[in-house]
Structure 1
Amino acid sequence: MSVSSRISPVIQDIVEKALEEIETSLDARIILAMDAGLRGQGMESADSPYRIMFVYVHRLDWYLKLSPGPATVELPASDDFSLTGWDIRHLVETMKQSNATQTTWLNSAAIYRSDQDLLRRLALLQRRVWQPAPALAAEIETATSELGKWSFGHTLTTEEFLTPMYATLSARAIAEDDGPSPEDIRVLYEGLAEDVTSEMDFILSEKAKKGAHSDAPSCFRSQLFMNAELPRLRTVELPEHPAPDDSVFDRFLADTIRRFG
């Protein structure tokens, strides 16, 4: 099981013990666990909560029942630490519906527990169901809406700046029509002009030391980037991809249950 190097050993140990307790209570095996919040996007503050999503697999006979049981579990341990679990069948059904917004956490930058072969197969499945046009439109709408909230003379918080910047960067990645965009903001702005990447590095570094609502450092170059990039992105047209055959999902589900159940 691989673990993200960006997670502190103390937090990893806390999460792992929680996952082990959940496995015992569910009588199931947790095969993936990732952060679905700001930590998974690489934009955490010092006080950002841990929002952990995990995927579990029951024993094979559990899936042979007429009423096998709930497909999800919610474990809100505290405001700062929560765990939400999906049974593997629920995950596959959600992916089949091409509901990309509900499964973006599969590309999280903060991984607590995973299996490389499983991640590889999930990434291939994500690409098969990916519909870039609506995803692009949604990110452009988010960026435009959030930028519209800025007012002259208002001091931006880091959160207020990063929300439209992240949406713009995600839209830029989606416009390449090369599958779902990464969750890690540092991967998203990699390759931009050096003055923008340096500014973003500093902003994220400062945010990690402070609270969520601290004032944003100078972000002039990044604002210029957004002002130039969003009009270009609005002109991008992307094709609609055909939905894959159900057998693709059936095969993945059966293979995963046989392997981990």
Structure 2
Amino acid sequence: MKSVIMEKLEEIERDNQIKILYAVESGSRGWGFESKDSDYDVRFIYIHKPEWYLSIQDRRDVIELPINELLDINGWDIKKALMLYKKSNPTLLEWLSSPIVYMEYSDFIRKLRILTQEYFSSKSCIYHYLHMAEGNYREYLKGETVRIKKYFYVLRPIMACMWVERYGTQPPMLFKDLMDSLQLENDLVNEIDQLLVRKKAGEEMNEEKQIKIINEFLDEKISYFKDYVKSLDMRSETGFDGLNQLFRDILTEAWENNY
């Protein structure tokens, strides 16, 4: 499948006259709890030629390919990505730690990672993950029977909140790394590990009875973080200087041989 993805990325570069700076796997494969039939969620950051940015016209700053059963691929222009980075956007920050990297141009991402502590906001990050956890919990896990595989889509964001509270940094992307770092109760870990084995084996995981120990854990943590996040102060806003310089540097580097 990697060769198909690489062909698609190279096709996107040609058709749109761009350079892809970074392309990774997101979603369940990036999080490490994919099933055998999980699709591929490819996300990328790209840069146009300098003249594209020197225009009075509003320009579309995303590229999206039609989604099929196996492949979901889209990307953000570098300016959009850097604006979201300035706001400590957790989705973008997750891309920076994806364990599956398809393309990486120059040292753009290394420089971006160096700036993370200047722009990271615990409050923004916890709000993001808490909202994700609450929505999935309310929709899939509140009845007597539940969509069993959806536990992962609530457990991971709640554990991400726990990581941010404890360490004050962006959580690791891999679910197993995140869980192992938090020293959870053994009985809870055993239940989650059993679910993880079933999901990765491709076992059918539709409606089943609630798993009491996991639901109790989620109820407790969602309630706790709803109060906790209100106590956090927003960090002082970091200026644009570092990101502006990074944008100019990579714009020059990416296209210097074309002029």
Give the TM-score of the pair, scaled to structure 2: 0.79
Matched, 1:103 2:92: yes
Contact in 2 for aligned 1:158/1:216 (Cα 8 Å): yes
% identical equivalent positions: 19
CA distance in 1, matches of 2:129, 2:77: 28
Is 1:94 the counterpart of 2:48? The answer is: no
RMSD: 3.0
Q: Which runs of 5+ in 2 are unaligned?
A: none
Structure 2 distance, partners of 1:132, 1:33, is: 25
How far apart in 1 are the matches of 2:44 and 2:138?
35
Q: Structure 1-normalised TM-score? A: 0.79
CA contact (8 A) 2:89 2:124 kept: no
> What is the DSSP-based 3-state SS (H/G/I as helix, E as strand, rest coil) of the residue aligned with 1:176?
helix
Corresponding position: 1:201 with 2:193: yes
Aligned pairs, number: 249
Amino acid at match of 1:176: R
1:174 aligns with 2:164: yes
Give me the whole-angstrom Cα distance separating, in 1, the residues matched to 2:169 and 2:252. Answer: 28
Indicate conservation of the 8 Å contact 1:39/1:109, yes or no.
no
1:160-239 alignment runs, 5 A limit:
160-191=150-181, 192-193=183-184, 194-210=186-202, 213-214=205-206, 222-223=214-215, 225-234=217-226, 236=228, 237-239=231-233
The one-character-per-residue Cα deviations of 1:151-203 (angstroms, maximum 9, x if unpaired) are: 5641x333222222112101101212522222221121013245544443332
Contact 2:22-2:46 at 8 Å conserved across structures: yes
CA contact (8 A) 2:85 2:93 kept: no
CA distance in 2, matches of 1:140, 1:195: 24
Instruction: Give the Cα separation in 1 of the matches to 2:135 and 2:79.
Output: 35
8 Å contact 2:88–2:124 — kept in the other structure? no
User: Residue in 2 aligned with 1:129?
Assistant: 119
1 or 2, which has the higher helix percentage?
2
Match of 1:252 among 246, 255, 258: 246
Distance 1:87 1:212 in 2: 38
Deviation at residue 105 of structure 1 after TM alignment: 4.1
TM superposition shift of 1:213: 4.3
Structure 1 gap segments, 5+ residues each = 1-10
The answer for the alignment partner of 1:114 in structure 2 is 104
The residue number in structure 2 matching 1:4 is: none
Which protein has greater RCO, CA pairs closer than 8 Å, 6+ apart?
1
Counterparts of 2:216 and 2:62, CA distance in 1: 43
Retained in 2: the 8 A contact 1:47–1:211?
no
**Alpha carbons 1:32, 1:113 under 8 Å: kept:** yes
Residue 47 (structure 2) pairs with residue 57 (structure 1): yes
Report the Cα offset of residue 92 of structure 1: 1.2
